[in-house]
Amino acid sequence: MRRFTLILTIILLSIRGIMAQEAAADKEDQQSPDTASVFFFHADQRWPGESALKRTADTLLTGFQFYDPAEGTDLLNAVNGNIGLAYKTLIFNPRRSSGFRFSPYNFDAYILNNANIRYYRSFAPYTNIAYSFGKGKEQLFSVTHSQHLARGLSFGVDLRIINSVGLYNRQKSDNSSLALQGQFVTDNERYAVLANYRNNRFKWRENGGIVYDSVFTTNYEADRKRIATWLSNADNLIKESGFQINQFYYFGRNPRLIENPDAVSDTLLNMIKADTGSQIRTAPPGKLFFNPERTNFFRHTFTYTRNALLYTDANPRSGFYPEIYADSVSTFDSVFFHEFTNELIFEGGVGKARGSGKAVLLRAGIEHAFSTYKNDTIIRRFNRLTPFAYISANTFGIAKAEGKIWFSNGAPFNGEKGIAAMLTLPAFDNSTSWGNLYASLALDALQPEYLYQFHTSNHFRWENSFGQQTILSGKVMYKRKYFQTGFNFYNLDGWVYFNENAHPARADGSITISQLYGLADITLGSIGLQAFAIWQNASKSDILRLPDLAGRATATYSVALFKRALYLQTGLSLMFNTAFYADAYMPALRSYYLQNRVETGNYPYVDGFVNLRVKRARLFLVMKHLNSGLSGYNYIMVPSYPMPDRGLRFGVSWNFFD
């Protein structure tokens, strides 16, 4: 009650302060007059097209209530009952990441890595501070800062903290992630450097789930802390850190610079269209920024990544584990691996075409990786060489065809290879007219993650030679304005998974998966609707478990108040998936495995929310799981890990531009 009073007081004081001020009129989906143009891009890793310039949604209210990084309109995940813990996606989407692949990481939404670290472009110092709290002592805190230090030199920082005790015993998450990034461009723009340092630390208390599901499903015990759990002394510690340095040397004609200090609005979204070695740059005089879409360069990338995983349990004889191999008094399972990579890339193109900088673009490169793996007293070292190439052709903006090819030589992923082809019609963004059509076909032969190949610990031990998994995928997608639909098809041969005993196994024969999905974002006056739905079918549902239907729909009503000084959005959000035998979670492996005991799903999760924008601040008030207890207590997404009961969440995000 005290927290609710505090929240209500903050909102009323904010409104009172706004009533004394006069603000310019603006729409919800337009930039607020109390903001500045702040853009970001991701340093592309291997393939072009991954580093487009985007503007931060620093004043957008739509979707602001999704404060959980693992939650969104099209982010559907089965979670372990508390924010910041492991989760498993409800949508099949095999993704191959470069580098030493140890396990199917089930916490990617929380981690800051080379693929998602933002390099900012801001014309004035920019800072965002966000904080939210809720039931179960749930707290999220983040800080973003970006600053142009000198001509051609910029710096940025991202800090994210998640700390939540949870409603059940030993369910606490304690996550912290820090990323520092910098950019430097010489005056003649021939040489540029992008560099980052990151440090992620996740500490989870593991309870193994509740012992008796019936105690929860019958609501026999309303005090969640009194419900017995399997583990009382288990913890997971995950550390990931490293740095990356990208060096670019551009060749060809000197860039053509266009100084325009007044163009700092939405038109920046269409800036930096690289053509024939030219750079269109919109910036105040004296400021120089890295152009992520410029081509004709040689690039060298050096990356260092360090990982340390530790699982401990002071009571291995709890009856939770299938085996105890070494120590029945205390479990102390540590895994350490690190990797150095050097990558050289050439990229160049000729001509120009609508929708892309070059009519024909070629990228070719080679990567060398040196990895060290340590498990208890076992140390293994690996060398791996991966050549790759990419080519695209744009025929007068009518169509764009792309192709990729790569292969690896060296342990522990020896013989991996892949080839892909993509087609875009038309080649430019035609979403405001009749839309764009995308099609792709890919074939990958991959070794399973190293955890499936080799592992030795107090409770699990194996050494396997499964060979390669072959993944054939075909995708078609249509996108127009606020609507998107598509069809995906996968054929998996030799699929490797964790069976009912949480041991690696290889499927006999092939598995086919079909998916049909749709995504809509519609606004009619003050009414808005954001919806995502997907249908999935797997030919061997006893091995690959997926809900047949899953989706989320959010309906909103938006209104401007007090001479548009306050913008308010309220609505309901519903998430649903059909019943299926969801995978269970094994804390000692930080992984999910097959189970045939509990069928989850067939339950709607409804949230009610109010989003507010007050000049430079955004606020949300969310009643999570509004329908808790109204239709039974079968809200479990991961077996033995009930979802939280109804609870109030409050958060604020504040921008500073000076």
Of the listed ranges 19-23, 186-190, 191-195, 356-360, the one predicted with least confidence: 19-23
pLDDT digits (tens, 9 = 90+) for 469-513: 999 999 999 999 899 999 999 999 999 999 999 999 999 999 999
- Enter the tokens of residue 416: 């991996």
Which residues lie across from 605 on neighbouring strands?
Answer: 575
Mean pLDDT, the chain, rounded, equals: 88
Beta strands in 414-526 (DSSP E): 417-425, 436-446, 454-456, 461-463, 469-480, 483-493, 496-498, 504-506, 510-524
Q: Cβ atoms within 10 A of the Cβ of 326, count?
A: 15
- Judged by DSSP in three states, 240 sits in strand
Task: Write out pLDDT tens, residues 308-366.
Answer: 999 999 999 999 999 999 999 999 999 999 999 999 999 999 988 887 778 999 999 99
Q: How far apart are CA 423 and CA 438, in angstroms?
A: 6
Looking at 254-263, 368-377, 526-535, which range is the least confident one? 254-263
Contacts of 589 by beta carbon, 8 Å cutoff, 6+ apart: 103, 451, 455, 460, 498, 502
Confidence of residue 285 (pLDDT cuts 50, 70, 90): low
pLDDT score of 537: 97
Query: What's the one-letter identity of residue 338?
Result: H
How far is the C-alpha of 504 from the C-alpha of 465, rounded, in Å?
11
Give me the percent of the chain exceeding a pLDDT of 70: 89
> Is the pLDDT reported for residue 370 higher than 70?
yes
Q: Check residue 36 and give its pLDDT.
A: 57
Q: Which CATH architecture has domain 2-656?
A: Beta Barrel (2.40)
Q: How many CB atoms lie within 10 A of CB 426?
A: 20
Question: Kind of pairing, strands 173-185 and 153-164?
Answer: antiparallel
292 prior amide bond cis, ω within 30: no
In this predicted structure, what is the pLDDT of residue 364? 97
- Cα distances (Å, whole numbers) of residue 504 to 209, 307, 312, 425: 22, 22, 22, 42
- Nearest of 73, 25, 5 to residue 573 by alpha carbon: 73
pLDDT at position 289:
87
pLDDT value of residue 286? 62
Neighbours of 189 (CB within 10 A): 20
Q: Categorize the per-residue pLDDT at 55 as very low, low, confident or very high, splitting at 50, 70 and 90.
A: confident
Q: What is the mean pLDDT of residues 437-462?
A: 96
Higher pLDDT among residues 396 and 210, named by residue: 210
pLDDT higher than threshold 50 for residue 199: yes
- Coil vs helix vs strand at 411: coil
SS (H, E, C) 291-354: CCCCCCEEEEEEEEEEEEEEEEECCHHHCCCCCCCCCCCCEEEEEEEEEEEEEEEEEEEECCEC
> Quick one: pLDDT band at residue 52, thresholds 50, 70, 90?
confident
pLDDT for 263 equals: 36
The whole-number average pLDDT for the span 641-650 is 96
pLDDT band at 265, cuts 50/70/90? very low
Residue extents of the structural domains in the chain: 2-656
The reported pTM is 0.89
Per the CB < 8 A criterion, the answer to whether 482 and 520 are in contact is yes
Confidence of residue 432 (pLDDT cuts 50, 70, 90): confident
Confidence of residue 399 (pLDDT cuts 50, 70, 90): very high
Of 505, 502, 468, nearest in space to 591 by CA: 502
CB burial string 281-299: b at 16+ within 10 A, e below: bbbeeebbbbbbbbbbbeb
pLDDT at res. 254: 58
